[in-house]
Amino acid sequence: MLGSAKAQTHVGAIPSKAQLAWQQMEYYMFIHFGVNTFTDKEWGHGDEDPKVFNPTQLDARQWARTAKAAGMKGIIITAKHHDGFCLWPSAYSKHTVRESNWKNGKGDVLAELSAACKAYGLKFGVYLSPWDRNHPDYGTEKYNQTFVNTLTEVHTKYGDVFEQWFDGANGEGPNGKKQVYDWNLFNGTVYKYHPNAIIFSDAGPGCRWIGNERGIAGTTMWSGLNRDEFRPGMGGIEKILNEGQENGTHWVPGEADVSIRPGWFYSPATDDKVKSLAELLDIYYGSVGRNANLLLNVPVDRRGLIPKNDSLRLMELRKQLDATFKNNLALGNTAANDGKTTTFWTAPTAQHAVLELAFKKPVTFNRFQVQEAIAYGQRVRKFKVEAFENGAYKEIANETTIGYKRILRLPAVTASKLRLTIIDAKAPALITEVALFKAPELLADAEINRNKQGEVILTSASEDAELRYTLDGSEPTYKSPRYTAPVAFAAGGVVKAKAFVDKGKRAGATITAKYDVSPAKWRVTYADTARQRAEMAIDVNLHTSRSTPGSGRTFPHEIQVDLGETLQLKGFTYIPAGNGVIEEYAFYTSADGKNWELQQQGTFANIRNNPVRQDVLLPKTAGARYIRFVALRGANEQQPWAAIAELGVITK
């Protein structure tokens, strides 16, 4: 049944034409590339010599080719990150490709990428950070106009721009430079040249951040937002952004940004930390499957190319998604399953409306997909799915919102009929499509862990997998040693493992873990918290953390550890724990646990939004029997405590 005119009146906020087209892109590439690629930093200081930027084989067509083959619809590049370095020869900055040695200062990354996108039929987008640690105008009245000038260049010289990405991050700290951004002026400048561009920021106006950098949207996910109550960089609004607002005044759909590696910029240290296929699938279903677009970052390396590990993983993901979604088992001839998103089923009532699909032959599926006709607003608050199996209906899912697209991963079920019940909606639901798919089973990869005693432990979620491994960095094959019991590995090194089934005929991906000296001999000698809790910082268990009590205590907080032997330290590692992330730190070493030498003091870049393991290298190698880690300031001003999931050392 096609909807009645009354049911098709708009309900609440609705998308613009440009937002509708944008939503259909679903999946596109983010590229972080700039001076940080060469200095191994996540946040550059803006004081780096522009000459460090010197890719040897830059090929934007390789990036575009990779994105296209991955099934992505566009590329957004960091034209200017927080360090201020411009990937185009801006007339308004002295920190640009023109000042670098690349192509003798005659290069222009934006020109090359926009041309490559055009050639491969991809849309082109730009990231520009308002926070600028290089520009002399930053923190003065002049800066807003300077920023508008650079924006104007980017929007007038390189053809169409589908999305403008405004980063709300600012790491100036309490004593840093203050700049009040003129967002109306910035947005107006973008719209002046590209009225259909989607402007991203924490709070839109075109699309919004989903509140984390893990790529996972809320299971309840509204595209509405009370836009005017929020502004970029506000903080404390992550949950609202993650779920949206049911009665939001404006249509500001979510976009999930996440990196394929732990960091946003390329680092040789993360070459073996490219996310696994299983992790990328979790991200896909957690974003595209939850009414958000997926902006997946693939960092370009120092050659100016997307590295092999990353592109191979993108192709594995494509293959798995294609195999999953190629065959819609629910395809039929009603408006809700005719394979067209232009026709839709109109629920007769807003509450307890039932759509039933009957199949000629029973179908076996493990993915349920449903879409709303969002042009008329997002309506569904609650729905359930039932499958007709063995003569009776059985509930297989009970969820909240749908939006543009909702995909549920379910245990396989064989059904001759399917029932979708809209339990509650803001107005009669308009369902464009219900689809069912059978995702091929994925061989679960090996997982590598090491316990406090320094023994390597291999596991896999696939019960019949045989796990084979190497300890010398070589590629594991079916002939490598088979894992049967924990393997002593206290001194550290490289472990590579692979899961095999069918006597070696099928194999998962090669999983790599690099370990340093294990904390087997370590002991906490002092901490401003109970000793037992403090030991959790060196227990190799990421789920336990050492945190200091909030009551009455404020920063600094500290912990001292006896390493049990003298080690030559090249650096240290800190894995933050959810609550009590440390942003500013000092790190000391000692031979006797009494006389301390300050080795390094600083801030962890972007740790608030991306709380992954931090590796800090010391200016020079230091012999140490004792280490002392002092938390000087937290990432969250409201939390006067500090937490450590794990503290480690770098000796290799």
Question: Where does this chain bind ligand FUL (CB under 6 A)?
Answer: 42-43, 167, 169, 257, 264, 606, 609
CB-CB neighbours of 578 under 10 Å: 10
Residue 63 or 368 having the CB closest to ligand FUL: 63
- Distance CA(443)–CA(170), nearest Å, equals 42
Q: Considering only CA atoms, which of 252, 304, 216 is closest in space to residue 15?
A: 252
Query: CB of 186: closest distance to ligand FUL in angstroms?
Result: 16
- Distance CA(154)–CA(142), nearest Å, equals 19
Query: CB of 463: closest distance to ligand FUL in angstroms?
Result: 38
Residue 42 or 445 having the CB closest to ligand FUL: 42
Q: What are phi and psi of 540, to 5 degrees?
A: 65, 10
Residue 163 or 167 having the CB closest to ligand FUL: 167
Residue 112 or 257 having the CB closest to ligand FUL: 257
Residue 144 or 609 having the CB closest to ligand FUL: 609
- Distance CA(347)–CA(328), nearest Å, equals 22
Query: CB of 32: closest distance to ligand FUL in angstroms?
Result: 6
Find tokens 């991809």 and name the residue: 122
Which sign does the torsion angle of CA 459, 460, 466, 470 carry? negative
Query: CB of 541: closest distance to ligand FUL in angstroms?
Result: 28
- Distance CA(364)–CA(382), nearest Å, equals 25
SS3 content of the chain, % helix, strand, coil (to 5): 20, 35, 45
Residue 224 or 634 having the CB closest to ligand FUL: 634
CB-CB neighbours of 628 under 10 Å: 21
Query: CB of 81: closest distance to ligand FUL in angstroms?
Result: 6
Residue 82 or 468 having the CB closest to ligand FUL: 82
Residues, the chain, total? 652
Residues paired with 345 in a beta bridge: 431
Query: CB of 212: closest distance to ligand FUL in angstroms?
Result: 11
Residue 134 or 548 having the CB closest to ligand FUL: 134
Residue 127 or 626 having the CB closest to ligand FUL: 127
Query: CB of 286: closest distance to ligand FUL in angstroms?
Result: 17
Query: CB of 466: closest distance to ligand FUL in angstroms?
Result: 39
- Distance CA(198)–CA(465), nearest Å, equals 46
Residue 263 or 571 having the CB closest to ligand FUL: 263
Token digits of residue 164: 């403008």
- Distance CA(373)–CA(257), nearest Å, equals 25
- Distance CA(313)–CA(321), nearest Å, equals 12
Residue 241 or 495 having the CB closest to ligand FUL: 241
Tell me the one-letter amino acid at 50.
P
- Distance CA(624)–CA(627), nearest Å, equals 7
Residues paired with 290 in a beta bridge: 406
- Distance CA(313)–CA(543), nearest Å, equals 28
Query: CB of 407: closest distance to ligand FUL in angstroms?
Result: 25
Q: Which single residue brings its beta carbon nearest to ligand FUL?
A: 169
Token digits of residue 117: 């996108």
| 3-state secondary structure at position 494 | strand
E strand or H helix that includes residue 410: strand 406-425
Query: CB of 220: closest distance to ligand FUL in angstroms?
Result: 24
Token digits of residue 534: 């403090």
Residue 33 or 483 having the CB closest to ligand FUL: 33
Residue 43 or 124 having the CB closest to ligand FUL: 43
CB-CB neighbours of 602 under 10 Å: 12
Residue 29 or 538 having the CB closest to ligand FUL: 29
For the chain, the C-alpha Rg in angstroms (whole number) is 26
End-to-end distance of the chain based on CA atoms, in angstroms? 67
User: HEC profile for 512-545?
Assistant: EEEECCCHHHCEEEEECCCHHHHHHHHCCCCCCC
- Four-point Cα dihedral 469, 474, 477, 483, nearest 10: -10
Q: How many Cα atoms are found within 13 Å in the side-chain-facing hemisphere of 412?
A: 9
Residue 110 or 336 having the CB closest to ligand FUL: 110
Query: CB of 609: closest distance to ligand FUL in angstroms?
Result: 5
Query: CB of 332: closest distance to ligand FUL in angstroms?
Result: 42
Q: How is residue 275 annotated by DSSP? A: P
Query: CB of 516: closest distance to ligand FUL in angstroms?
Result: 26
Q: Which residues contact residue 599 at a Cβ distance below 8 angstroms, ignoring those fewer than 6 apart?
A: 569, 587, 588, 589, 618, 619, 622
Query: CB of 170: closest distance to ligand FUL in angstroms?
Result: 9
Query: CB of 232: closest distance to ligand FUL in angstroms?
Result: 9
Q: How is residue 548 annotated by DSSP? A: -
